Amino acid sequence: MSPSTLTNWTRAIARAWRPRSASTAAGDRSLTFGCTTWPRPPTAGGRFDRAHEFVVRRCRPAQVSDRFSDSSRFQLHRTMPRFLANPIAVVGLAVTVFCQAGPAAAQVAIESIVLRPLAEAEVPARQTGVVARILVDEGDRVEAGAVLVQLDDKSAALAVQRAQHERDRARVTAENNLQIEYAAKALEVAEAELARSEESIAKFPKSISRSQLDVERLTVEKLQLERRQAEQDQQLARFDLQVKETELAVAQRELELHAVRAPLAGVVTLVRARAGEWVEPGAPVMRLIAVDRLRAEGFADVADVAEVAAGHSVKFALGEAGQIHAGTLRFVSPEIDPITKQVRIWAEIDNSQLQLRPGQQGQLQYDR
């Protein structure tokens, strides 16, 4: 039963307690209370407490006082001990019942929680070269994919241009059908000439010599081979075009590697490279951290995390000011430190307003 409902019951008891007469109040332990508006008891059948037999039943209209609402009118009859013949005693009983309703959920507070970046990166150079330009400063906020450092890329740009020209030439060759068309046309003429010769011999055996007919047949076979060769040459040209397109993609990739880009959105905390310096692949040139979401990490007693798991809602309280920031528990270590008898935990804390900074310490709170 909620505190507000209990308060209404208590006030109604004190307001409604009126014996019918002095003799009834003095000699009869079964007292009739006046009609009043009464909240429905929390148990079935109208019984609130079996030990004291509180019973509520609806009044007849003639018994209802005009000062109470017509929507809900009840008459209370109770058989009770004499020590409860005072409304103050009833109030005390109600408060006792409320206090014994059960304890609230326990709140756990873990101290010495440290904020760390949820995501950070030492951004490396991806290509050998000289640093041409540094495009950001320490403290700048950058988006993922933004160019941070530009290496000298003149040679790589020329390689891209050359690959483009070679690709274009291969495309022209692959799309050229003249050889195939010429071979097909020559074959068509030779086949027609051979057909006429064979028809003439059939009608006039002496009109064409056998050797001339063999030459015409050989010409047709030669032109068939030339057409087939032209088709194969065009197929090879198409393969060469694919090779040139791949070479162009490689050259463009090499050019792109001269631009050092941000792998994540965040804040530049350290610039390691300087313009004019020579860098090798893998050498860190800049450090980034993400600050919109932070990692609250620390150690907790085993008993404090026995009933929670990843996904549990938590709050991070910062210092004495008590600034509260919502978050979610992400990890509870399955290992117990043999010395401290504690487990490592960390939670993801929302910092979209950028009120928190990595390195701050506070308290992690949650209900269990």
How many other CB atoms are found less than 10 A from the CB of residue 353? 8
- State the pLDDT at residue 203: 77
For residues 19 and 92, state if they share a domain. Answer: yes
Residues 225 and 162 in one domain: yes
Cα angle at 137 between 131 and 139, to 5 degrees? 145
**Are 325 and 245 part of one and the same domain?**
no
- The percentage of residues in the chain with a pLDDT greater than 70, rounded to a whole number, is 71
Q: Is residue 107 part of a domain?
A: no
When divided into structural domains, the chain yields a total of 3
Q: Does residue 269 lie within any of the structural domains? A: no
The continuous run of DSSP H or E covering 239 comes out as: helix 210-256
Do residue 81 and residue 170 come from a single domain?
Answer: no
Residue 326 domain-assigned (yes or no): yes
**Of the listed ranges 168-172, 228-232, 261-265, 332-336, the one predicted with least confidence:** 228-232
Q: Residue 145: inside a domain, yes or no?
A: no
Domain that holds residue 361: 293-367
CA–CA separation, 67 vs 16, rounded Å?
12
Is 64 part of a structural domain of the chain?
yes
Q: Is the pLDDT of residue 17 over 50?
A: no
Residue 204 lies in a domain: yes
pLDDT at residue 201, rounded to an integer? 75
Residue 94 reports pLDDT greater than 80: no
Do 92 and 159 share a domain, yes or no?
no
Q: Supply the pLDDT for residue 234.
A: 86
Q: How do residues 137-154 score in pLDDT, each as one tens digit?
A: 999 999 999 999 999 999
CB-hemisphere CA count at 13 Å for 217? 7
State residue 184's pLDDT score: 85
Residues 243 and 307 occupy one common structural domain: no
**Per-residue confidence (pLDDT) for residue 102, from 0 to 100:** 47
Q: Which of 201, 231, 254 is the last residue of a domain?
A: 254
pTM: 0.57
Instruction: Say if residue 243 is in the same domain as residue 184.
Output: yes
Do 151 and 139 contact (CB within 8 A), yes or no?
no
Gap between the Cα atoms of 361 and 366, Å rounded: 17
Residue 105 placed within a domain = no
Domain harbouring 316, CATH code? 2.40.30.170
* 315 and 227 in a common domain: no
Decide which of 99, 116, 145 is a domain's last residue: 99
